């Protein structure tokens, strides 16, 4: 029986290359795959799945209010049914999109594999990832290592950097000049603490001794 998979990981964990590898493996067996990605992701152009190692492929750009059952069958070459549906940037899906993917699995017996982030730079779930965590048949973490050069912990959090500094506020989805990195929970929390401390310094609300004590306490854990 077909299943709905959610393969999640932090930034730079290789999610897109995993999708492209899966598509290649299906096609080598003469099977059709449908590749979709969120229309919100315009970093490499609308409707493109691109990996950081330089591989890319055209995909169907989908929006929050699209009927994905109709989208899949409209774009399928094999009108019987494609062998698999692959979805990149699945964190940007709407709850309605995820319910459509459940229908594709349950009523059309078509496997769907979604790749995406679990949480945003604030540590909060995206709408799409929250729905997939609830409804997916199988969850799989795509692992990578914390970007801090002195750390060997698994990266589990995403950090947004502006001018090289971790930020804690802002809109959940910003496609553009912001830079992102993946961190373990400790270094992600430490970065947020340093950001909060520097705000206190700028506002001159907190004594220097208390600021130094906070950083020393966090760094010693």
Examine the residue annotation and report whether 89 is marked as an active-site residue of this protein: yes
First to last CA, the chain: 47
- Of these residues, 18, 28, 57, 89, which one is catalytic? 89
Contacts of 158 (CB under 8 A, 6+ apart): 10, 11, 117, 119, 120, 121, 180, 181, 182, 183
Contact 15, 142 (CB under 8 A): yes
Buried b (16+ CB within 10 A) or exposed e, 74-83: eebeeeebbe
127 DSSP β-pair partners: none
Place of tokens 């890319």: 56
Catalytic residues: 89
């Amino acid at each position: 029986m077909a299943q709905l998979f959610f393969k999640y990981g932090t930034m730079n964990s290789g999610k897109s290359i995993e999708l492209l590898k899966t598509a290649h493996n299906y096609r080598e067996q003469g099977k059709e795959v449908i590749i979709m990605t969120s229309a919100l992701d315009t970093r490499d152009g609308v409707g493109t799945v691109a990996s950081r190692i330089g591989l890319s492929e055209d995909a169907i750009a989908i929006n929050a209010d699209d009927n994905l059952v109709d989208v899949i069958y409209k774009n399928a070459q094999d009108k019987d049914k494609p062998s698999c549906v692959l979805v990149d940037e699945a964190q940007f899906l709407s709850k309605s999109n995820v319910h459509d993917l459940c229908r594709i699995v349950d009523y059309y017996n078509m496997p769907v594999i979604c790749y995406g982030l679990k949480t945003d730079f604030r540590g909060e779930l995206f709408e799409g990832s929250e729905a997939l965590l609830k409804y997916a048949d199988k969850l799989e973490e795509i692992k990578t290592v914390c970007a801090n050069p002195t750390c060997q912990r698994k990266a589990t959090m995403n950090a947004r950097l502006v001018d090289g500094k971790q930020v804690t506020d802002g809109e959940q989805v910003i496609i553009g000049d912001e830079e992102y990195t993946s961190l373990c929970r400790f270094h992600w929390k430490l970065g947020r603490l340093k950001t909060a401390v520097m705000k206190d310094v700028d506002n001159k609300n907190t004594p220097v001794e208390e600021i130094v004590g906070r950083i020393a306490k966090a760094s010693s854990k």
